[in-house]
Amino acid sequence: MGVIIYQYPKCGTCRKALKWLDENKVEYESINIVENPPGEDELHDLIEKSDLPPKKFFNTSGKKYRELNIKDRVNEITKDDIMKLLASDGMLIKRPIVTDGAEVTVGFKEETFQQTWA
């Protein structure tokens, strides 16, 4: 099986990740994170497998993140509330998220992709 990449077509970082996957002949299924954001259970699973704190899954440069003033609340809200927030709007989620069911990467760094997906 290939990998699943949650991405947003207008996102430059996502386009770089897709290009890297194509150039390295990694089979993938692409899911539009805005049209089909991962649900709370799936987010919980992705976060657990990534070994990253839940707050690292927020798109901190996004308009919605600023509008909801999450920066000032992120350290006070529960993990469950973070899952609900993220699942409610794909634009709140840092992208791309790539997973093969065991490994998870968030964002795009060529070095990380090389180590994880090559």
Report pLDDT for 1. Answer: 61
Q: Domains of the chain: which residue ranges? A: 3-117
Q: 3-117: what fold?
A: Glutaredoxin (3.40.30)
pLDDT single digits (tens) 11-48: 999 999 999 999 999 999 999 999 999 999 999 999 99
Q: Which residue has the tokens 């634009």?
A: 91
pLDDT (tens digit per residue) in 65-75: 999 999 998 88
3-state secondary structure of 63: helix
Task: Give the count of beta carbons closer than 10 Å to the beta carbon of residue 82.
Answer: 23
